[in-house]
Structure 1
């Protein structure tokens, strides 16, 4: 199988349905699953058919548009109640990625401004908004990529954790988008991908994206990063994020905190590619970010293979929090924020057009 990642549509609208790449079976199988309701999209998000904060947000917007289309022949009251139920289902699908709630709030505001319009007109308008959010996400990723590429010297060897690429967004990617932009600018960089236990997003998804585009990539297990840093084989760390607190604390895939601590120990810059929609000023610091706990089966084995002892207890937090003091800079679509803090993030939003 060979698919150019730049041409992959993580989410696509076809024949009145939302198609999403089933990321659970990559890289062995490349296939789309189709959805026609908010409940279906919510289950796709929960089960990680789609994952990555920006992609989850856009998928949720399409989920609500699908529900509006499905219910457009209903009474006004049934339509309203159906959309409210759809919002509740989508909001409950995954708790940590703030883009999910940002997207639902944005679509709700659009819906609230459409009083007096018929159900069919509302459904069309919500679909238009979902389309715009998808296109906007790609524009944002491109802008972040250009800013982030300026931080990477030619020849840089960059470690990344989890998958923050085209598969985690509407296209291009956040952290991996920086790599794409650096290569597009003519820089020769190489990527070191943590496998990212237990769901193996680095091994299955990041490595796949980089291989498709002929960007040199080396896969390592999560416990090898410190060794490679100590040998001078890593020049920078670049990751994405699912939520950034008001003080600059960063929630990302479990294991990111360990990488940040190691980077600090070895004086390696630790960068976070972060769209503004992922910054949550309502959360004062990382301790208030809800951390999703997933099923123990993900730790006991992978797919049909189980390697853990029967009867063992399991913890499976899906995310951890990296304190702002370990973050060299946040890369946003509006520029680079060095040494993020409550003051710098508040100023960023005060100056937002």
Structure 2
């Protein structure tokens, strides 16, 4: 089984050169099975993202980047039975792959950021002699995106641990959904902070929300924390409020799928309610995310597109019906936490505290704030 440099399972990896393939850890099978799937077409990657075999904003972006490499040689992207052979055909197929992959999931901005990076490469490779060479250039960019995310995760972990270690040698921390190795190319975002604290001997006690509707906290976060030797207690989402009230947790830390210019943050459904509870009980609420998760083109969280998932994920998740036939279902994948409920945002460049549009822009795009 592949492991990364932090002794965690590789969420995704590329095998071979430009004619290789993408391997994904199928997260829909965890924690009962550790199963890998190989993707050798754009459609394979699109389906993996859509069905949550790969998920987490950074990991989606990385997977999509590798998907564009596959696109450069995918005849289906040309709308014919001919495989791309010339550089022009490879570029045309790769651009079609970008467009298709962009339709997989709408909320996580890392997907679109990564695809824009790949489009930038496509715009410069027209002089290459073949589609194969185009794929090799695209692969180099995808690997760079992957490696950069690994480094960003490590930096987020360090900055976050510096911030949270002031809570004392033992601390209770609530987290929501999954933000670890499974969601990124490295150690994660919010979970990277917890791993770093544990490595410093701080012994955090993590309370992991099960996270409805697909139980990503129960299936994935609890599994990851146990794999890394972090003390974890699994709780249902509705238990977080009394836990905060009773003083069992001194902080809340979550990840993000998109953050606006003023700091409004989209994350898995249930995050907003958790932030309200933390505010009421005087518990700091932290968001951990790389700067690639910020979307400075929008200011308000109202502008973030919210993905709607299939009703069956609630009514008959994991193959067993748990609700009446025909019941009406509202199943958004995300909600938005306004900036005023967020104590600080931890990035790979440092900590944004307090959270404001001025502070966000200064951290994410410092050149735009210079006079």
Q: TM-score, normalised by structure 1?
A: 0.96
Find the aligned partners of 2:143 and 2:92 in 1 and give their Cα distance: 24
The separation in 2 between residues aligned to 1:97 and 1:336, in whole angstroms, is 21
> How far apart are 1:39 and its partner, in Å?
1.7
Partner in structure 1 of residue 115 of structure 2: 104
Offset, 1:345: 1.3
Is 1:146 aligned to residue 158 of structure 2?
Answer: yes
- Say yes or no: does 1:176 pair with 2:191: yes
- Counterpart position of 1:6: 7
CA contact (8 A) 1:325 1:339 kept: no
Matches of 2:289 and 2:84 in 1, distance apart?
Answer: 40
> Which residue is equivalent to 1:234?
249
Residue in 2 that maps onto 1:251: 266
* CA displacement at 1:352 relative to structure 2: 6.2
Deviation at 1:77, TM superposition (A): 4.5
Deviation (angstroms), 1:289 = 0.1
Separation (CA, whole Å) in 2 of partners of 1:267 and 1:326: 11
User: Could you say which residue in structure 2 is the equivalent of 1:188?
Assistant: 203
Which residue does the alignment assign to 2:288? 273
Deviation at 1:332, TM superposition (A): 0.4
Query: Distance in 2 between the 1:179 and 1:218 partners?
Result: 14
* Runs of 4+ residues over 3 Å off in structure 1: 3-6, 69-73, 75-78
Among 106, 109, 120, the residue aligned to 1:95: 106
Q: How far 1:79 sits from its partner (Å)?
A: 2.6
CA deviation map 1:248-305 (0-9, x unaligned): 0000000000000000000000000010000000112100000000000001032111
Q: Is the 8 A contact 1:244 1:251 kept in 2?
A: yes
Equivalences for residues 194-205 of structure 1 within 5 A? 194-205=209-220
SS of aligned partner of 2:27: coil
Q: CA deviation at 1:7?
A: 2.7
Q: Secondary structure at the match of 1:306?
A: coil
In 1: Cα distance, 2:211 partner to 2:187 partner: 20
User: SS at the partner of 1:331?
Assistant: strand
Pairwise CA distance, 1:50: 0.3
1:78: Cα distance to partner?
A: 3.4
Contact 1:6 1:172 in 2 (8 A): no
Instruction: Quickly say closer, same or farther: Cα 1:352–1:155, change in 2 above 3 A.
Output: farther
Q: Is the 8 A contact 2:301 2:338 kept in 1?
A: yes
Contact kept in structure 2, 1:19 and 1:33, CA below 8 Å: yes
Contact 2:146-2:185 at 8 Å conserved across structures: yes
Residue in 2 aligned with 1:137? 149
User: Hey, what's the Cα distance between the residues in 2 that align with 1:177 and 1:98?
Assistant: 20
Secondary structure of 2:7 counterpart: helix
Give the equivalent residue in structure 2 for 1:22. 26
Normalised TM-score (structure 2): 0.91
**2:72–2:84: 8 Å Cα contact kept in structure 1?**
no
Contact kept in structure 2, 1:270 and 1:326, CA below 8 Å: yes
User: CA separation in 2, counterparts of 1:232 and 1:245?
Assistant: 31
Q: Which deviates further from its counterpart, 253-262 or 63-72?
A: 63-72
Give the counterpart of 1:315 among 322, 330, 343: 330
CA, structure 1 residues 134+69, in 2 after alignment: closer, same or farther (shift >3 Å)?
Answer: same
CA deviations over 1:113-158 (Å, ceiling 9, x no partner): 2231122221101111111111111100000100000122321111
Give the match for residue 80 of structure 2: none
